[in-house]
Every structure is written in C-alpha cells, then in structure tokens.
C-alpha cells in the first residue's frame, strides 16, 4: 500500500509539477512521455487497493483472497515493468515530441511577436530557465526570464532534452524497482497460501 501511494505521488508530481506541467497545459503535449506516467499512476492506484485485500487475506487466512492478491500483483508487475521499459525505450521519441512543441511555439512567436504565444513561450523559458534555440537569438527580442545563466541556458532544445531525459530515467528506475517489489509480494503470498493450506490439511 505504501509503495502504491509512493508511485501515485511520484507519477502525479512528474505530471503536474515542475517543467512538464507547462508542456501539459498547452494544447499540444508530449503524449509519449505522459503515457508512461499514466501507466505508472494506474499501477500505483491498483497496488494501493490490492494491498488492502492482501492484508485482509493474510489476517483472515483466506486462500481465495491471497490467490486474488497474487493474480493482481502479477498484473501490476506487468504494468510496472512495461512502464519502466517504455520509459527507457521511448526516451528519444518523447524528447523529439517536446522539442517539436517548443519549435512550433517559437516559430509562431517569430511570425507574431505580439500575439498570445508571447505568454506561452515566456512560460516555457521561465520553467526551463532558457531562452531561444541558439546563443544569438537572445538579441532578437524573445521574452526571456531575468537572471538566467548565459550562454549555458540559451538553447531550450538542449534543456528540454536534459529535463525529459532525467525524468524518464527516474520513471524507468521507479517502474522496474516497484516491479521487483511485487515479485517479493507474489512469492510471500504464495508461501503464506501454501502454509495455510498445509495447516488446514493437518487439522
């Protein structure tokens, strides 16, 4: 249950907090990135629910509940492992999607600097602490946050790569780690179920 709550909190933090929340608030969003997070949050919610039934099954010494607990953990294991592998394999596609979103907004701003996109591109610059796509574009009137370190943070495409790469690396590690924990849960549930059956056979 605690692991499930931790996974939910982690997934929601990546989805609604920090830099990625700004990408999600726009009409376009890196769907490939968020797909892995949705799987992670869903598996965490299922883990929390299943954990309760596992506790009930152990307390009541119910083979039926423990068997259901094992089956659910097997589904969770598949989901978490898939999310972990998905995060590592799909990293390149997610980065390309996010970079394309920024480039589209950047080109829209260049066509109409006074339009609504001005606020959108500034929000991205503020969240990523960057400005433009290369070192020279800082002088072209882009809406940039104050006190950013130049020229290191001038290329937003590089910053997007760094942020998503780090986030998906975390998703992959958490997904595979929780999948490992569920293996122990399945082993212990089967051991307990067999012990209950043997005890009843002896009686």
CB atoms within 10 A of CB 77: 19
**33 SS3 class:** helix
* In the chain, domain spans: 61-202
What's the pTM value of the predicted model, to 2 decimals? 0.67
| Contact (CB, 8 A) for 122 and 145 | yes
CA distance linking residue 203 with residue 197, whole number of Å: 10
pLDDT at 89: 75
- Assess contact for 90 and 115: CB atoms under 8 A: no
Confidence at residue 141, expressed as pLDDT on a 0 to 100 scale:
67
Look at residue 40 in the predicted model and tell me its pLDDT.
72
Tens-digit pLDDT profile for the chain (203 aa)?
787 788 788 778 777 776 666 665 555 556 666 666 777 788 778 888 888 877 877 777 777 877 888 888 888 787 777 766 776 777 787 788 888 888 888 888 888 776 666 777 787 887 787 887 765 555 456 777 777 666 555 688 888 888 888 877 777 777 777 777 888 888 888 888 788 777 766 65
What pLDDT is stored for residue 171 in this prediction?
73
In sequence order, the 6+-apart residues with CB closer than 8 A to the CB of 75 are: 46
Locate 6 and state its tokens. 């931790």
For residue 31, the tally of other CB atoms under 10 A from its CB is: 12
| DSSP annotation of 113 | T
Residue 126 CA, chain-centre distance (Å), reads 22
Which pLDDT score, from 0 to 100, does residue 26 have? Answer: 56
What per-residue confidence (pLDDT) applies to 139?
46
Cα separation, 124 vs 145, whole angstroms: 10
Q: Rounded distance, CA 37 to CA 21, Å?
A: 12
Cβ pair 35, 86 in contact under 8 A: yes
Share in percent of the chain as helix, strand, coil (round to 5): 80, 0, 20
């Amino acid at each position: 249950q605690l692991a499930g709550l931790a996974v939910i909190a982690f997934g929601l933090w990546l989805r609604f907090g920090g830099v990625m929340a700004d990408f999600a608030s726009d009409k376009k969003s890196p769907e490939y990135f968020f797909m892995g997070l949705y799987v992670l949050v869903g598996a965490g919610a299922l883990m929390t629910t299943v954990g309760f039934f596992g506790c009930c099954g152990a307390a009541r010494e119910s083979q039926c509940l423990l068997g259901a607990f094992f089956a659910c953990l097997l589904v969770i294991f598949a989901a978490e492992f898939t999310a972990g592998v998905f995060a590592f394999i799909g990293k390149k596609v997610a980065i390309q999607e996010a970079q394309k979103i920024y480039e589209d907004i950047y080109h829209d701003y260049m066509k109409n600097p006074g339009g609504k996109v001005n606020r959108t591109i500034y929000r991205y610059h503020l969240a990523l602490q960057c400005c433009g796509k290369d070192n020279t574009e800082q002088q072209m009137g882009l809406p940039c946050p104050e006190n950013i370190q130049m020229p290191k943070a001038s290329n937003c495409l590089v910053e997007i790569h760094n942020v998503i790469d780090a986030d998906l690396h975390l998703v992959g590690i958490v997904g595979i780690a929780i999948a490992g924990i569920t293996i122990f849960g399945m082993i212990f549930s089967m051991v307990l179920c067999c012990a209950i059956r043997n005890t009843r056979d002896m009686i």
